[in-house]
A and B are shown apart, each in its own frame.
Chain A
Amino acid sequence: METIKLKIDGKDVTTTKGTTILKAAKEFGIQIPTLCYLHLEDLNIENKPAGCRVCVVEVEGRRNLAPACATECTDGMVINTHNIRVLNARKTVLELILSDHPTDCLVCAKNGICELQTMAQEMGIRELHYQGEQSHYREDTSPAIIRDVDKCIMCRRCEMMCNEVQTVGALSAVNRGFMSVVAPAFEMNLDHSVCTYCGQCVAVCPTGALTEVDHTNNVIRALADPTKTVIVQTAPAVRAALGEEFGLPAGTLVTGKLTAALRRLGFNYVFDTDFAADLTIMEEGTELLNRLNRHLKGEKVALPILTSCCPAWVNFFEHQFPDMRDIPSTARSPQQMFGAIAKTYFADKIQVKRENLVVVSVMPCLAKKYECQREEFATDGNPDVDFSISTRELAHLIKQSNIDFMSLPDEDFDNPLGESTGAGVIFGTTGGVIEAAVRTAYEVQTGKKLENVDFKELRGMEYIREATIDFDGLPIRIGIAHGLGNARELLQDIKDGKSHFHAIEIMACPGGCIGGGGQPLHHGDSSIIKARQKAIYEEDRNKAIRKSHENPYIIELYEKFLGKPMSDKAHHLLHTHYFDKSKEITVE
């Protein structure tokens, strides 16, 4: 690599050719402000349209200012990042953005965590010298995501996520000039688009233009209703991220405090989605082995089997690969398995009528909001899961309820739906579902006990991974993809008959659920996602039981209620079917 020398703000700087001014400056402790720029290192995600123009710097000899994010350093460059010309331009540009932005910050969902607000504060903007007409658009509320695009600043991060990373294609820039905005085609609503509700657009939106549909008030109302028994399930990735909302470093596990907080909020029972994850393994693992063994006998079966616990992923193939909808496992997601068991087995157990039992889920995910509203997951109009709130919404709920999170004691989940294994925990990260499945499938298939349950070959952050696991002489080929764009590649291979896998795990969000659209905002720092992953594996390591089929309450559930995996009852409660949604896209 060629080394070049340049000067930034009077400092001699050495860097490699091809480095942007932004990166070179950062290496030397000069933080040039950015707004549209986003770089999730190691996840291959970068957005640098050079559109906001906040990061402009002066390059001596150049006619105009250069965007630091998209200008490569050259040898001998002399750069000023904060002289009066640059500061005036930067502030003016920021004022221009603000002049076309609502000023209802105090009641905005992003108040306090808005990158535009933070920047205005840091840049000392106290007056807008350029005011005028503001652009207005129709508000769009979908089952999971609210688009309040009056607040869109055209950073295009969401568009990049939706098109380049997820290859969904629901969002792109429409209109021209002052009315330019990011929207679904023909400015239709999201629910008329191919949106999967993965929420990655929300996860990267710097302002309040994209937010989740807030269900905290529904939860508060349910909790206040004396006729209702309200129970809660919390997904594995939540415990690895919730602490960030209370100032704890990323990757701090707060399982005990989370449980304590939920109890103080007034939930009658505090359960764990991990329990349902164990249940998922029982069903999905059995389905995998069924298909595998039939395949080994020479029958024609759909292989590879694809995991189905990610609702955004389900939406994705229903929209984009509807002809392949017989390939994914029919097992419902842990959230829905939990709901189905809670409103039957558990409701019976505590003698509460279905309609008086409210199931709330806390999820790192926005697609879960849509999933729990799917008609097939309701009985007589009563949904198995009533409300799904995100990690962020839970943090708000805790703060609203005057709970001093940091001083809470560690508490345990309630039983029976709160007991889980390490296998259930790792559902929260990419590679985790398939590792959990392997732990169980191996023992069921071979009849042997695993010496070591850590399948390190399945772990990591590579967007597409593959490994072959030796099932006592039988090589099982496994593929893993996170991020829907990567999933598309594997799916296309299957379609083209090029796939050699037996099983594939897919999670829609980069990093898996730990990087979900409902998690505390990472603001472009991918080390946060990696720290959460570490925490998930730590929780797994500390669990007494680490294989789903050894969960005593799962064993009891099958003995007393379901019979065996894939039984008729299990089928009815724990499995689903998929729809062809390719024709649902309509233009009004």
Chain B
Amino acid sequence: MGKYNMHVLVCGGTGCHASESETLLQNLKTEVLEHGLENEVQVIVTGCFGFCEKGPIVKIMPDNTFYTEVTPDDARVIVEEHLIKGRKVNRLLYTHPETKETVADSKHMDFYKKQLRIALRNCGFIDPENIEEYIARDGYEALARSLNELTPEQVIEIIKKSGLRGRGGGGFPTGLKWEITRKSVSDIKYVVCNADEGDPGAFMDRSILEGDPHSVIEAMAICGYCIGSSIGLVYIRAEYPLAIERLKTAIAQARDYGLLGEDIFGSGFNFDIELRYGAGAFVCGEETALIHSMEGLRGEPTVKPPFPSVSGYFGQPTNVNNVETLANVPPIINQGPEWFSTIGNEKSKGTKVFALAGKINNVGLIEVPMGTTLREVIYEIGEGIKDGKKFKAVQTGGPSGGCLTEKHLDTPIDYENLIASGSMMGSGGMIVMDEDDCMVSVAKFYLEFTVEESCGKCTPCRVGNKRLHEILDKITQGNGTREDLDRLRNLSHVIKDTALCGLGQTSPNPVLSTLDNFWDEFVEHVVDKKCRSGQCKALLQYVIVPENCVGCTACARNCPVNAISGERKEIHLIDQSICIKCGVCMEKCKFNAVLVK
């Protein structure tokens, strides 16, 4: 990389890719060539920068200039102004949503200030399709050290000491998992990388695979060395075509470089990786279901124990780790477990990647040290709620996480605290809601997802979640009763208590957490038949304001169901039992005499 003076990094993550970053890349390359800068400037495509809200992103190194929402037509101005004349293109710089000031480089952006990128260290920095760029960033050094200088036990000890825990949701200590799999006696063992990433809205695993596939390959090889396996399998959803392609390229390159295959680094250790495609079922992120799916069976979980570490893929000991977990492994070995364990808090070490979404200014992918508070994430990195609205809740942990409120904002984010607050880490989805969101509808929305994604094997999840959803729907339709609230609570507890797998055991979380934190709102829905955020259409009431009504009959004439009565020049009246809440009356009234409440 050294021979160039400047590097132009163009985001090639799925989001930016969809916004023509590929054309932008080609235009930049053409411009650089046309201006004869090809020996000075290198234009490369990288993985995701995380700041997807403002994509496509172009970053200029070494000065960290961070251009947002760049279109293919902007290529010329970037080359002519910035690369040649050394003047930053102001209109492409990031503007702070409140101060309205432009920020010259990423180091000064709130979005990045609080972040600490370990798993995402190479995303948005290197060309994921070039193994040498990975190697230049200490890539494969951890593998080399492991194979040549350390015994498998020593490597496991390092991982254990680091305190790394599963990033897929469960939070199981990674080193311990490796140790158990190592101790399982068998000629054949498997390393499985769980790249199923089913949480809607979460895309850290995809970003890592797209932006830094070698980190996962390297970690899988290290894991193979530790547990005594020579076969790695990546279970990846078929909806991730770019990640699949980059992974395939990376695997081929690693093979070419002798970093996969036989006798790696002359150590006698053999390891290779194959891909297995998932059809996108949420439940297949659960490791036993994932394994069944890989075996060609119906993707549904089985009772644990036996754990995959003892009996997994085709009955052999199988170590299943999630993408983000694996991406942490090489830095831990390179920089030592002590370094890693100083990051984070007591029981949760290192960092966690979150997919920040919803009613927040900076939507995107962030990585923060464990123990960072929700407030820091939402108000500093996320730069607050969109359109200056009031924060209402944040839902963490994907569709089966819980909704946390104002009072939880100063809770440090880690495995234990989130569970204690009634939510969970999950794979790191974080959806922010504002005052316009109806919490009953939110709970219903998440249940809709779990009902859809239930595998159907166990009764509580198959039927119970369906019933939960029906009750929630009944409440949003204005037909709920107080007994329904009791029913919701009891059923939620029973489902948590009796469901077979993690999906079912957590699916009532959105219901329970909203019941706990937004009880008043539920009561309003069932007793007062009111939805304070106006989301539940069935609970709206269109009424005539007598003071404003002039009796023009416009509303009555236009009402499609004849719900409005009243003589000419007399005050009209809407019959609520007939009204279908279409809103036409309000639209047609010229005197502000129709009110919705």
Q: Which residue of A lies closest to B461 (CB)?
A: A177
Assess whether A451 is interfacial by the CB under 8 Å rule. Answer: no
| Residues of A with C-beta under 8 A to B305 | 72
* B303 contact from A70, A96, A132, A154, Cβ within 8 A: A70
Residues of A contacting B: mostly: loop
| Residues of B with C-beta under 8 A to A175 | 456
Q: Which residue of B lies closest to A52 (CB)?
A: B459
Residues of B contacting A: mostly: helix
| Residues of A with C-beta under 8 A to B496 | 64
Assess whether B328 is interfacial by the CB under 8 Å rule. Answer: no
Assess whether A178 is interfacial by the CB under 8 Å rule. Answer: yes
| Residues of B with C-beta under 8 A to A180 | 454-457, 462
Interface string of B476-520 (1 = CB under 8 A from A): 000000000001001100101111100001000000000000000
Q: Which residue of B lies closest to A53 (CB)?
A: B498
- Least CB distance, B370 to chain A, in whole angstroms: 22
B455 near A89 with CB under 8 A, answer: no
**Interface range on chain B (Cβ under 8 Å from partner):** 20 to 34
| Residues of B with C-beta under 8 A to A71 | 303
Complex CA–CA separation, A99 to B467 (angstroms): 9
- Least CB distance, B488 to chain A, in whole angstroms: 10
Complex CA–CA separation, A49 to B462 (angstroms): 14
B470 near A132 with CB under 8 A, answer: yes
Assess whether A224 is interfacial by the CB under 8 Å rule. Answer: no
Assess whether A469 is interfacial by the CB under 8 Å rule. Answer: no
Could you tell me how many residues of chain A have their Cβ less than 8 Å away from some Cβ of chain B?
A: 37
Complex CA–CA separation, A94 to B454 (angstroms): 18
Inter-chain CB contacts under 8 Å: number? 111
Most buried by B among A49, A53, A71, A131: A53
B470 near A173 with CB under 8 A, answer: no
Assess whether A129 is interfacial by the CB under 8 Å rule. Answer: yes
| Residues of A with C-beta under 8 A to B121 | none
| Residues of A with C-beta under 8 A to B347 | none
| Residues of B with C-beta under 8 A to A173 | 298, 300, 456-457
| Residues of B with C-beta under 8 A to A97 | 459, 463
| Residues of A with C-beta under 8 A to B105 | none
* B491 contact from A53, A92, A153, A178, Cβ within 8 A: A92
Complex CA–CA separation, A178 to B504 (angstroms): 13
* B494 contact from A51, A52, A89, A133, Cβ within 8 A: A89
Assess whether A518 is interfacial by the CB under 8 Å rule. Answer: no
- Least CB distance, A415 to chain B, in whole angstroms: 55
Assess whether A262 is interfacial by the CB under 8 Å rule. Answer: no
A154 near B494 with CB under 8 A, answer: no
A53 near B454 with CB under 8 A, answer: no
- Least CB distance, B15 to chain A, in whole angstroms: 28
B466 near A50 with CB under 8 A, answer: no
| Residues of A with C-beta under 8 A to B453 | 176-177
Contact A89 B498, CB 8 Å, known A53-B458, A177-B452? yes
Assess whether A517 is interfacial by the CB under 8 Å rule. Answer: no
A51 near B487 with CB under 8 A, answer: no
Assess whether A85 is interfacial by the CB under 8 Å rule. Answer: yes
A96 near B460 with CB under 8 A, answer: yes
Assess whether B281 is interfacial by the CB under 8 Å rule. Answer: yes
Assess whether B464 is interfacial by the CB under 8 Å rule. Answer: yes
Assess whether A32 is interfacial by the CB under 8 Å rule. Answer: no
Contact A53 B281, CB 8 Å, known A130-B487, A178-B466? no
| Residues of A with C-beta under 8 A to B459 | 51-54, 93, 96-97, 153-154
Contact A53 B455, CB 8 Å, known A99-B463, A100-B463? no
Assess whether B451 is interfacial by the CB under 8 Å rule. Answer: yes
| Residues of A with C-beta under 8 A to B497 | 56, 64-65, 85, 89
| Residues of B with C-beta under 8 A to A132 | 466-467, 470
Most buried by A among B281, B456, B464: B456
**B274-322 contacts to A (CB < 8 Å):** 281, 298, 300, 302-303, 305
**A93-140 contacts to B (CB < 8 Å):** 93, 96-97, 99-100, 129-133
Complex CA–CA separation, A229 to B298 (angstroms): 52
| Residues of B with C-beta under 8 A to A133 | 466, 470
| Residues of A with C-beta under 8 A to B464 | 92-93, 96, 130
| Residues of A with C-beta under 8 A to B470 | 132-133
**B404-425 contacts to A (CB < 8 Å):** none
| Residues of B with C-beta under 8 A to A56 | 497-498
B456 near A177 with CB under 8 A, answer: yes
**Top 3 nearest A-B pairs by Cβ distance?**
A180-B456, A177-B454, A96-B463
Question: 5 A-B Cβ contacts within 8 A?
Answer: A56-B497, A65-B498, A93-B494, A99-B467, A177-B451
Known: A67-B500, A176-B452. 7 other contacts (CB 8 A): A49-B302, A64-B497, A64-B498, A99-B463, A177-B452, A177-B454, A178-B463
